[in-house]
Structure 1
């Protein structure tokens, strides 16, 4: 894959969003839904040198060269949702310029433990704030993180 071209295209997409919002004040053109998920998965796969699995793969989105299964969560808001306990998860916030901030990179157990004792919401997804994930991320040992290569 051409890493530079990929990053340029993502930045161009977000620049276009900004221009449209400036052209039509009060209107929002922010990418959402599947598009944000796919962008996030590709950003993470590229930055961490992961092999993406097919879209909507059950339980994980990518694997490391060593075979570790990674659930990738991307958002532009302040929360993410989980349906199940991932082996490992990387959560990012996509920034307005098309880059991203790593919010959490560690064992999924630490995230899933936050839902212990809570009833499953009617939509089948537990929500967790990025603020809480940032705090959890501070307790993840470096050896339990997937290293970023780009």
Structure 2
């Protein structure tokens, strides 16, 4: 357990400027996914727990968020089942952490996924499986995708 707390402390120090809080719960996987996607797609992270979106793709490198910034929702899972959404994001990135490797599952319009999600659960979320997301990612090949500018970090040596 001490090792886990040490890792969490290191993550909190390393990403303090990214306004992400790494805690030993489901937020840990989500926060890791957000900083990994931000790095891979050159996104600017919004304040933690911003409604509906986690980051923006900046139209130009002036650093100012504007009406032309593309809002992005980022989801990551360490499992094999799927992810849940509360609303239809403008753009959606879904990552999976499997076999100590980050994998891109979906990169495309959020509405494309939202329209295929299961019905709303009691907690307000709508779930979708990873297999359905992969299929939608292929089906959405002609839709706008964010350009991946950096490789995903390697977790093995």
What are the equivalent positions in structure 2 for 1:25-104 lying under 5 Å apart? Answer: 32-66=25-59, 67-77=69-79, 78-97=81-100, 99-104=101-106
Give ranges in structure 2 of 5+ residues lacking alignment: 1-5, 8-23, 60-68, 151-157
Is the contact between residue 108 and residue 143 of structure 2 (CA under 8 Å) also seen in structure 1?
no
Task: Measure, in 1, the Cα distance between the counterparts of 2:46 and 2:56.
Answer: 8
* TM-score (normalizing by structure 2): 0.70
Structure 1, unmatched stretches of 5+, are 1-12, 15-30
2: CA distance, partners of 1:70 / 1:122: 25
Mapped to 1, the partners of 2:82 and 2:140 lie a distance apart of 19
CA–CA distance in 2 between the matches of 1:131 and 1:43? 21
User: Once superposed, what is the RMSD of the aligned Cα atoms?
Assistant: 1.9
1:121 aligns with 2:121: yes
Equivalenced residue count is: 119
Show structure 1 runs of 4+ deviating over 6 A.
none
